[in-house]
Amino acid sequence: MNTVALPVTERFPIKMLAWAVLGAAVLASLPFVIAEYQTILLAYGLVMAIAALGFNLLLGYTGLLSFGHSAYFGVGAYAVAMMVKYLHVQSMELYLLATVVASFVVAILFGFVCVRYTKIFFSILTLALSQVLWSLAYKFYWVTGGSDGLRVPTPTLLGGVIGGNEDKIYFLSHAYYYYVLVLFLACVLVMWVIVHSPFGKALQAIRDNETRARFVGIRIRQYRLVAFVVSGVFTGIAGALWVPLNGLTTPDILYWPFSGEIVFMCVLGGFQNFSGPIVGAVVFNYLKTYAVGATTYWQGLLGLILVFLVLTLPTGIVGMLNQLVRKAKKRASA
Amino acid sequence: MNLLETTKLTKYFGDTHAVDAVDFRVGEGEVLALIGSNGAGKTSLVNLISGLFQPDSGQIRLRGADVTSLSVHERIKAGIARSFQIVNLFDQLTMLDNVALSIFARQDMTRYFWSLADRFDAVWQEALEILRQFGLERTRAIVAGGISQGERKLLDVAVAYALRPRLLFLDEPTSGVSTRDKAQIMNIVTSVVRSQGITAVIIEHDMDIVFKYSDRIVVMHDGKILADGTQEEIRRNDSVTRTLIGVADA
């Protein structure tokens, strides 16, 4: 019996841990090195990376392509905005708590319907349900502010210890950046444990072969639902962290092209590995920012980039880098 | 004592009588061959017993307990496992992961999302031991999508075996592999099954394998059981010869 050797990830990725610590140290030192505007841009990137990480639990690990993750991002953002408007709350911790509850409830409701289906049917259902929320946010303007959206002022952090009357730019590029960074690292750690746990293995089994997964005793729908809810809550947290950076939430973040952007991030970075969505989210954020500044046809430019990526880098930036490293190692050992 | 019994088990697909009032029994600890031409209803019968399809009527009893309405998950807990005619594996996971996943599932550990899978040493050791039993330990770190057809067939059985079933259905465990590999696969599979006292039902077309490795043979035709007996009884059964080989009446 002949065997074709394929590369597999190491069982104990010590190297990966070392890279993660190095990456965290670099991210922590950046506000001392780069301009405030760049730091805020990076904070946007880290926030979107949390959303992409959550999204990729479904796409990369469970094999479900959602076109409706704008719903959970929007739920997070609107939960914060409504707490500001109607409850006059300023605490970021309370925002996050409310977001987790709100996105959990919405994800479990939507997930209950969606995980009964797979492939295109799942994708279309997620898209349709997210559009229901978009139309609610758009039409119920007396509650949501309609197309004008809702303003969100600078929050207080750590139970009111930080924030309040600081200069907004300084606050966002320093205290808030570190707040986002800590939550980002916590989300990365939690997601890393989830995907490397027996539960994560079960999700990958469902992705690879639903029939076999069923016949080893995995309850497919239940596991998909849990993955869906975790994914939704991660994206909701990203929405809650995003809205103080932006200062405003509008129905645009509930609209389907925003879901498409999250898909784009994962394709850009590579959804077949853990770090791909993180890299994809940060890179996409810079791409979009500079494309918007460069041309009024920025959507067309991003579209061309996406086509180019799919054709030339199907494994994304991280996938390509992995291949290059593998080739270099092979050449060095030859 | 019978481990499994079906009573008037029936499944129609439109006008096709896939399984037609079948009374089928498997004794504790025996290795039984289920044979028949294509479309005879062998795989449909296994699909009904393993829970892939629900029967239109009839009853399935495992050690006397009615399992007819149980879900696939519950039947696995009751001790029924199976491999597949077209190999079903987790292609992007390693061979070791494939087997370990069965063990995690058997022990209800796939619910654990707060601790790393690598920390469960006992599971990995057991998975490695199973791969060793099946002669696959050398390739344990290779993803299942990258191994040969013979190894895939063996791994498919190993994944089912890791569930520690009482009753194991092997749906054409040697289809699509070379003649030399067939004997190797069957030697490994039957020695593992017999050494653990597992009851096995082998669906097979290759009559050499059927006669060499099974204790009893059940022949199906047009959704019904045509014959049931020892190798000698089946060899001497004219209706079986006519149906399977197409020999004309003398």
**Tokens 């597992």 map to which residue?**
B198
CB contact under 8 Å between A12 and B118, yes or no, is yes
Task: Give CA torsion, residues A74, A177, B116, A221, to 10 deg.
Answer: 0
Quickly state the pLDDT bin for B247 (edges 50, 70, 90): low
Distance of CA B18 to the CA centre of its chain: 18
How far apart are the C-alpha atoms of A317 and A192, rounded to whole Å?
Answer: 19
**The pairing of beta strand B31-35 with beta strand B80-82:** unpaired
Q: Given this model, what pLDDT does residue B246 score?
A: 63
Mean pLDDT for chain B overall: 90
CB contact under 8 Å between B101 and A193, yes or no, is no
Q: Given this model, what pLDDT does residue A305 score?
A: 86
Per-residue pLDDT reduced to its tens digit, A201-224: 999 999 999 999 999 999 999 999
Neighbours of A17 (CB within 10 A): 11
B82 sits in which H/E element: strand B80-82
Per-residue pLDDT reduced to its tens digit, B17-56: 899 989 999 999 999 999 988 888 899 999 999 999 999 9
- A124–chain B nearest CA distance, Å: 26
Q: Are A115 and A228 in contact (CB under 8 A)?
A: yes
Q: Given this model, what pLDDT does residue B242 score?
A: 80
How far apart are the C-alpha atoms of A35 and B154, rounded to whole Å?
Answer: 59
Mean pLDDT for chain A overall: 91
**Chain A residues within an 8 Å CB radius of B75:** none
Residue A247: C-alpha distances to residues A77, A80, B93 (Å): 10, 11, 44
CB contact under 8 Å between A3 and B151, yes or no, is yes
Q: Where are the domains of chain A?
A: 29-255
> For the whole model, what pTM was predicted?
0.90
Tokens of A213: 């997964």
Per-residue pLDDT reduced to its tens digit, A84-138: 999 999 999 999 999 999 999 999 999 999 999 999 999 999 999 999 999 999 9
Stated length of chain B: 250
Quick one: B2-245 is in which CATH superfamily?
P-loop containing nucleotide triphosphate hydrolases (3.40.50.300)
The residue type of A228 is F
Per-residue pLDDT reduced to its tens digit, B207-239: 888 888 888 999 998 899 888 888 888 888 888
pLDDT at residue B137 greater than cutoff 70:
yes
Q: Given this model, what pLDDT does residue A20 score?
A: 86
pLDDT at residue A281 greater than cutoff 90:
yes
Per-residue pLDDT reduced to its tens digit, B92-116: 999 999 999 999 999 999 999 999 9
pLDDT at residue A3 greater than cutoff 80:
no
In this structure, what DSSP letter does residue B143 have? B
**The pairing of beta strand B224-229 with beta strand B216-221:** antiparallel
Orientation angle between helical segments A198-208 and B95-106, nearest 10 degrees = 120
Which of A164-168, A232-236, A297-301, B169-173 is predicted with the least confidence, judged by mean pLDDT?
A: A164-168
Residues 189-248 of B with CB under 8 A from A: none
Q: Where are the domains of chain B?
A: 2-245
Residue A221: C-alpha distances to residues A9, A117, A206 (Å): 28, 9, 10
Residues on chain A bordering chain B, Cβ-to-Cβ distance under 8 angstroms: 1-6, 8, 11-12, 193-194, 196-202, 204-205, 207-209, 211-219, 223, 226
How far apart are the C-alpha atoms of B185 and B212, rounded to whole Å?
Answer: 13
- B111–chain A nearest CA distance, Å: 5
pLDDT at residue A7 greater than cutoff 80:
no
Q: Given this model, what pLDDT does residue A13 score?
A: 66
**Chain B residues within an 8 Å CB radius of A6:** 142-143, 145-146
Neighbours of B73 (CB within 10 A): 18
Quickly state the pLDDT bin for A17 (edges 50, 70, 90): confident
Report, as an integer, the average pLDDT of A29-57: 94
Question: Which residues does B39 contact at the CB level (< 8 Å), separation at least 6?
Answer: none
Using CA of residue B125, residue B126, residue B131, residue B135, what is the dihedral sign? positive
Neighbours of B54 (CB within 10 A): 11
When computed from its CA atoms, the radius of gyration of chain B, rounded to whole angstroms, is 19
Per-residue pLDDT reduced to its tens digit, A44-69: 999 999 999 999 999 999 999 999 99
- B19–chain A nearest CA distance, Å: 21
Tally the C-alpha atoms within 13 A of residue A143's C-alpha that lie toward its C-beta.
Answer: 8
CB contact under 8 Å between A217 and B73, yes or no, is yes
Q: Are A228 and A58 in contact (CB under 8 A)?
A: yes
- Selecting from A4, A198, A208 the residue whose C-beta is nearest the C-beta of B90 gives A208
| Residue from A12, A196, A208, A219 whose CB has the most chain B CBs within 10 Å, to mutate | A208
Per-residue pLDDT reduced to its tens digit, A149-171: 999 999 999 887 787 677 888 99
Distance of CA A30 to the CA centre of its chain: 21
